Amino acid sequence: MKILFFVAQVLALVALAPLVSGIIRKIKNNLRMRQGPGILQPYYNLIKLFGKDEVISVNTSWIFTVTPYVVLVSSVLALMLVPVFVSDVSLNYMGDFLLIIFILALGRFFLALAGLDAGSSFGGMGSSREMFISSFVEPVVVMVIFVVALNAHSTGLQVISAVPVLSLPLIIAATAMMFVIIAETSRIPVDNQETHLELTMVHEAMVLEYSGRSLALIELAAHVKQIVFFSLIASVILPFGIARDIAPMPLLASFIYYGLKIMALTVIISVIEISMAKMRLFRVIDFLNIAFVLSVLGIVILAMGK
Amino acid sequence: MWLDVLLFGLLITSFMLVVAKRISALINYFTLQSLALFLLMLILAYGHTGVKLYLVAGLIFLLKVVLIPFFLKRIMRKIKVEENVGFFVNPVISVLIALVLVYLSYAFTTKLLHITETLAQGAFSVAISIIFIGMFLMISRIKALVQIVGLLVMENGLFLAAISVSGGMPFLVEVVIFFDILVSVVILELFVYKINNAFEHIDSNKLKGLQG
């Protein structure tokens, strides 16, 4: 029963991941008084890309071919580790919160290598920028982990998500995590998903050489990574409403809470994206510095407040 | 639970005030902070009997969310001040200093003073943090308008401190304090206007020299 539910949960979330991106894009367009594409557009893009032929440069090595699969697998594996609807339904015997970060770092590492592999100047630039940003993001994530781990006295995700409190340090940790989401899903103050303008690209520059099926896999991986981070906020950092075991009523409540929390996150992300301007690359340090200070603030309040 | 959310609102707006680079943003963040204080007061009033706390909440809304931001925006328009707040300490260092201030106020309130809080766990520490951050804002920014905002932020913190340990000051005292703030903002507004007329700027750094 548990295994069946687990498989269904992972498949459903992977299938719904592009929808979240589509909803964010739709909200952004509506807030800007534009029509915009429908919320199913990411699916159409993926279907189109899967049907296209692939062009692979003769100068690339096996890393370039293997990267899309590594990136997608790392994102899906990270998703498997997160308890989303029920606090002990995940691969939590495999590893804890820190493992998710390392698995996602593996995907990013391969993506950066693939950016360098084709030897184009854009790819190298994108990889270098991505690594630059991630070196500021990862300390924040680790600090956020410390906050939730201190609160639950464990780094195990099933223990953390079974502590359903909404306290000041946890809300601060969730806010720091929002900064991380913005940086990791290449959203506006840090990066811009919608443009291929050469000067501002970070993520897009890395995957510039990809086409066809490989590009579709990388895009799907980006959608899944986004839902991983959303679920970390919704079900691990602020886990109120999550079900303890598989029973109809708590499960229904858990679905509703999760849906509401994801909707709230999409709205917040959209509002941030339309109300801010893209930052200069070196201003991103200031932006992530605030996130770091917030995560340390969470630890200070948690440690001193008792 | 909602108290925690509102305490978070009060604390995060203090940090937003520290990183704000434009005066209009500063005034908006102050309005947001006052709004959080108003909602907190409303929740508190809901738990009590009697209308006094509702009146206090209403006064907060009227003064700090509507009138004072309006006055500040008006003086901004009137003297056509530059948007830049003028940093003595740059935002990156400022936010780190604010973090240290929060740490100090937590250390001070939990390790030295043993206060039994009536509102919520940690509300008094948050209040002291806000007072410190307001004071830091006053001494680390150049423009005179920012110093008014810093004073008002400190006052928000004082108000929160009062309600977190004693459930609020007597009603009459509360009303007098509000009146005081309103008058002081009007007077400070006038001062800023006069300073601007006499020196053609509101840069407090340049007010050290005497002028005959």
Give residues with Cβ within 8 angstroms of A175, minimum separation 6.
A294, B8, B12
Q: For chain B, what percent of residues have pLDDT higher than 70?
A: 95
Whether B106 and A294 lie within 8 Å, measured CB to CB: no
Strands annotated E in chain A: none
How far off is chain B from A224, nearest CA to CA, in Å?
29
Q: What is the pLDDT of residue A194?
A: 80
Q: Choose the closest CB to B95 out of A175, A289, A306.
A: A289
Residue B98 pLDDT class (50, 70, 90 cuts):
very high
State whether residue A281 sits within 8 Å of chain B by CB. no
pLDDT of res. B206: 75
Instruction: List A residues 147-186 in contact with B (Cβ-Cβ < 8 A).
Output: 166-168, 171-172, 175
pLDDT by residue (tens digit) across B46-92?
A: 887 778 888 889 999 999 999 999 999 988 888 887 788 888 898 99
Contact A171 B5 (CB under 8 A): yes
Rounded to 5°, angle at Cα B131 from B125 and B136: 125
Mutation site, B3, B6, B8, interface A, largest A CB count within 10 A = B8
Residue A24: its pLDDT value, please? 95
Chain B CB within 8 Å of residue A297 CB: yes
Q: Does A39 touch chain B (CB under 8 A)?
A: no
Task: Give the span between the Cα atoms of B122 and A9, in whole angstroms.
Answer: 38
Per-residue pLDDT of chain A (306 residues; tens, 9 = 90+): 889 999 999 999 999 999 999 999 999 999 999 998 999 999 999 999 999 999 998 889 999 999 999 999 999 999 999 999 998 888 888 888 889 999 999 999 999 999 999 888 888 999 999 999 999 999 999 999 999 999 999 888 888 888 877 889 999 999 999 999 999 998 988 888 887 776 778 888 899 889 999 999 999 999 999 999 999 999 999 998 888 888 889 999 999 999 999 999 999 999 999 998 888 888 899 999 999 999 999 999 999 876
Contacts of B6 in chain A (CB under 8 A): none
Q: Which residue has the tokens 């001070």?
A: B108
- What residues make up the domain containing A19? 2-304
Q: Which residues of A touch B91 (CB under 8 A)?
A: 286
In the stretch 77-116 of chain A, residues with CB closer than 8 A to chain B read none
Among B175, B183, B122, which Cα is nearest to B151's?
A: B183
B102 touches chain A (CB under 8 A): yes
The pLDDT score that the predictor gives to residue A134 is: 93
Contact state of B4 with A171 under an 8 Å Cβ cutoff: yes
- Which amino acid does the sequence have at A156? G
B121 contact A CB<8A = yes
Q: Is 60 exceeded by the pLDDT of residue B201?
A: yes
| Ramachandran angles phi, psi of A186, nearest 5° | 45, 65
Distance (Å) from the alpha carbon of A305 to chain B's nearest alpha carbon: 6
pLDDT of the residue at A188: 87
pLDDT of residue B212: 55
Give the 3-state secondary structure of residue B203.
strand
Q: Which of A220, A204, A218 is nearest to A120 (CA)?
A: A204
Contact check, Cβ <8 Å, A167/B98:
no
User: With an 8 Å Cβ cutoff, is B103 touching chain A?
Assistant: yes
What's the gap in Å between the CA of A184 and the closest CA on chain B?
Answer: 21
Tell me the nearest-neighbour CA distance from B121 into chain A, angstroms.
8
pLDDT band at B136; cut points 50, 70, 90: very high
Interface of B with A in 157-196 (CB under 8 A): none
Task: Write the single-letter amino acid at A33.
Answer: M
With CA atoms as reference, the chain B residue closest to A165 would be B1
Return d(Cα A305, Cα B5) in angstroms, integer. Answer: 16
Q: For chain A, what is the radius of gyration of the CA atoms? A: 19
Per-residue HEC secondary structure of B133-198 comes to HHHHHHHHECEHHHHHHHHHHHHHHHHHHHHHHHCCCCHHHHHHHHHHHHHHHHHHHHHHHHHHHH
pLDDT of the residue at A306: 63
pLDDT at B117 over 90: no
CB pair distance less than 8 Å for B4 and A293 = no
Report the mean per-residue pLDDT for chain B: 87
Cα–Cα distances in Å, from A19 out to A75, A157, A228, A268, B26? 16, 26, 14, 16, 37
B-contacting residues in A 203-242 (Cβ below 8 Å): none
Percent of chain B with pLDDT over 90: 42
Interface confidence (ipTM) of the complex? 0.89
pLDDT higher at B212 or B125: B125
pLDDT for position A201:
83
What confidence score (pLDDT) does residue A269 get?
A: 95
User: What is the number of domains present in chain A?
Assistant: 1
